[in-house]
């Protein structure tokens, strides 16, 4: 019986299961019988970081390599350099702006709409849930129809939803509009990562993710400040007006300057069933899943810090709101700075797995130190040692987060949109599960925060070691495979 185009595409492009004794052995040999380096094996980059990287899909011996973007449009987009960086950075920064600019306005929204504080908190939950679920929809769409069309559609819906938030007459409608805003805003997150995967490979991709962290990492710092300043001149609805204007500008910039990066020949042609099969194939790749879950658990450590740090620093250690803001800003600067060190100095000089492993080890050590301090093992400690531990922990995220994304996406040239969706959704969901646990014992102890961070950090190391198995690929390289 003749095969459908969708099924042929799947067999040509979906990674086979990464489990079983033969899975890693299959990655070592190409169709011509010569040794081949799997696409996601960053260790090969240490030989010659400047050399073009292989693009064969991981886990498929003999599968034809996807196009290395010969399209003139993709080359033109790559040549724009700084402009592409700013556009993709703006897209990844838009969701945190949408979340954090709104924070200073929560009390005003409660009064304006005459709703309980718990109900208004659901506007944050709805936006976060929309961002998590929206990525699962937009990612496969971008693999089928290209990057530009779903991105522009998502941006237009985002602008409309944000404008409706500014006009919402009740808390219920505001919750609904925030859900729609999150669903549409997810397009920027997932497609930005997919575009990076289309345009870059190997160490270049890892460096680009570190550069994106400089932009997206600054967004949570400045967003509450912008929201607070907007509130000086208008009410809470003005924040959504500003976000609407930002969305319009980004939509116009994307429409004019961000070219299509996924050639028609590399797109998937199937429907929903094909998209689900693609994601199932990605999840069956043990190494991809290892990087995905390790990155999600590292993100959960970050979420635990964000959720608990206001209470830990201010309520437990007695710091003022100004001191907390200063410490929060310093920690964010540490994360951004280490991310830049990762991209500018470490990537290309060391195997990505080594850098990632070092970053995860530092996170574990910092989390354990925080646990020992908060449980009183070192006696009564003040704010300074705890703040130092949080700074080290946050800074090490600059080594963990960009490199887990890069390593996972290196294996998924064939389905970068779906892979990006899984990466983003898993991070949001794991973080959302871990975040409430930090307050399980009340606001008078920091122990739950430290326990959640230790458990998630150790689990991330476990996923990295036992699912990704970096020593196996390093051994193949040492043996000349």
Instruction: Decide if pLDDT at 474 tops 70.
Output: no
pLDDT on residue 28:
36
Over residues 367-384, the mean pLDDT reads: 89
State residue 363's pLDDT score: 96
Identify the residue with better confidence: 445 or 459. 459
- In percent, the amount of the chain with pLDDT more than 90 equals 26
**pLDDT tens for residues 44-93?**
323 333 333 333 333 323 333 334 445 555 555 445 567 778 888 888 88
CB 148 within 8 A of CB 431: no
Count other Cβ atoms within 10 Å, centred on residue 124: 17
Nearest to 93 by CA among 255, 238, 204, 223: 223
pLDDT score of 52: 36
Pick 239 or 121 by higher pLDDT: 239
Check if the beta carbon of residue 212 is closer than 8 Å to that of residue 343. Answer: no
Among the listed residues 151, 334, 119, 122, the one whose alpha carbon sits nearest the alpha carbon of residue 254: 151
pLDDT band at 243 (very low <50, low <70, confident <90, very high): very high
Are 426 and 298 in contact, with CB atoms under 8 Å apart? no
| pLDDT, greater one: 9 or 154 | 154
d(CA 94, CA 245): 12
Residues 104-114: tens digit of each pLDDT:
777 788 888 98
- Which is more confident, 371 or 212? 371
Q: Is the pLDDT reported for residue 296 higher than 70?
A: yes
Task: Determine whether 22 is exposed, middle or buried from the number of CB atoms within 10 Å of its CB (0-12, 13-18, 19+).
Answer: exposed
**In three state form, how does the secondary structure of the chain look?**
CCCCHHHHHHHHHCCCCCCCCCHHHHCCECCCCCECCCCCCHHHHHCCCCCCCCCCCCCCCCCCCCCCCCCHHHHHHHHCCHHHHHHHHHHHHHHHHHHHCCHHHHHHHHHHHCCCHHHHHHHHHHHHHHHHHHHHHHHHHHHHHCCHHHHHHHHHHHHHHHHHHHHCCCHHHHHHHHHHHHHHHHHHHHHHHHHHHHHCCHHHHHHHHHHHHHHHHHHHHHHHHHHHHHHHHCCHHHHHHHHHHHHHHHHHHHHHHCCCCCCHHHCCCCCHHHHHHHHHHHHHCHHHHHHHHHHHHHHHHHHHHHHHHHHHHHHHCCCCHHHHHHHHHHHHHHHHHHHHHHHHHHECCECHHHHHHHHHHHHHHHHHHHHHHHCCCCCCCCHHHHHHHHHHHHHHHHHHHHHHHHHHHCCCHHHHHHHHHHHHHHHHHHHHHHHHHHHCCCCCCCHHHHHHHHHHHHHHHHHHHHHHCHHHHHHHHHCCC
Q: Which of 478, 395, 411, 428 is nearest to 300 (CA)?
A: 428
Residue 446 has pLDDT above 80, yes or no: yes
For the chain, percent of residues with pLDDT exceeding 70? 79
pLDDT score recorded for residue 81: 65
Which of 53-67, 273-287, 439-453, 462-476 shows the lowest per-residue confidence on average (mean pLDDT)?
A: 53-67
Name which residue leads in pLDDT, 186 or 315. Answer: 186
Residue 325: pLDDT over 80: no
What integer is the mean pLDDT of 386-394? 93
Question: Which tops the pLDDT comparison, 44 or 419?
Answer: 419
Where does the pLDDT of residue 476 fall: very low under 50, low under 70, confident under 90, or very high at 90 and above? Answer: low
As a whole number, the mean pLDDT across the chain is 77
* Burial class of residue 50 (count of CB atoms within 10 Å of its CB; 0-12, 13-18, 19+): exposed
What pLDDT was estimated at residue 459?
A: 96
Question: Bridge partners of 118?
Answer: none
Tell me what pLDDT residue 268 has.
75
237 versus 222: the higher-pLDDT residue is 237
Q: Is the pLDDT of residue 392 over 90?
A: yes
pLDDT of 159 higher than 70: yes
């Amino acid at each position: 019986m003749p095969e459908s185009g969708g099924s042929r595409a799947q067999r040509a492009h979906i990674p086979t299961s990464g489990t079983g004794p033969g899975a890693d052995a299959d990655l070592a040999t190409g169709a011509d019988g010569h040794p081949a380096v799997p696409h996601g094996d960053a260790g090969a980059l240490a030989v010659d970081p400047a050399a073009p990287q292989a693009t064969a899909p991981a886990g498929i011996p003999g599968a034809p390599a996807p196009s290395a973007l010969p399209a003139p449009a993709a080359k033109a987009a790559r040549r724009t350099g700084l402009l592409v960086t700013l556009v993709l950075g703006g897209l990844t920064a838009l969701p945190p702006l949408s979340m954090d600019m709104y924070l200073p306005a929560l009390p005003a929204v409660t009064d304006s709409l005459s709703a309980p504080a718990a109900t208004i908190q659901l506007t944050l939950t709805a936006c976060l849930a929309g961002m998590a679920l929206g990525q699962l929809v937009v990612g496969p769409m971008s693999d089928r129809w290209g990057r530009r069309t779903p991105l522009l559609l998502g941006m237009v819906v985002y602008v409309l939803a944000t404008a409706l938030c500014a006009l919402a007459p009740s808390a219920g409608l505001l919750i609904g509009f925030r859900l729609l805003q999150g669903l549409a805003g997810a397009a920027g997150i997932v497609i930005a990562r997919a575009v990076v995967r289309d345009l870059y490979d190997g160490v270049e991709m890892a460096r680009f993710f570190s550069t994106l962290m400089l932009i997206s990492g600054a967004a949570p710092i400045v967003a509450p400040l912008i929201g607070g300043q907007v509130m000086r001149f208008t009410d809470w609805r003005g924040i959504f007006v500003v976000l609407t204007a930002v969305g319009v500008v980004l939509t116009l910039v994307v429409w004019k300057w961000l070219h299509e990066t996924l050639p028609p020949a590399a797109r998937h042609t199937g429907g929903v069933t094909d998209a689900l099969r693609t994601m199932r194939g990605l999840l069956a790749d043990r190494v991809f899943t290892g990087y995905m879950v390790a990155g999600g658990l590292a993100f959960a450590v970050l979420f635990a810090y964000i959720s608990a740090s206001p209470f830990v620093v201010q309520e437990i250690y007695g710091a003022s709101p100004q001191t907390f803001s200063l410490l929060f800003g310093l920690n964010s600067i540490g994360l951004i700075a280490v991310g830049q060190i990762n991209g500018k100095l470490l990537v290309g000089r060391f195997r990505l797995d080594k850098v990632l492993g070092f970053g995860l080890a530092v996170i574990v050590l910092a989390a354990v130190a925080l646990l020992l301090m908060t449980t009183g093992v070192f006696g009564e400690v003040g704010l300074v040692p705890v703040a130092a531990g949080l700074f080290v922990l946050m800074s090490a995220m600059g080594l963990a987060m960009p490199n887990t994304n890069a390593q996972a996406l290196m294996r998924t040239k064939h389905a970068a949109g779906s892979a990006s969706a899984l990466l983003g959704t898993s991070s949001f969901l794991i973080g959302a599960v871990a975040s409430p646990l930090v307050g399980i014992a009340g606001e008078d102890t920091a122990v739950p925060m430290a326990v959640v961070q230790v458990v998630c950090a150790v689990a991330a190391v476990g996923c990295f070691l036992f699912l990704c198995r970096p020593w196996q690929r390093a051994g193949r390289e040492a043996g000349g495979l």
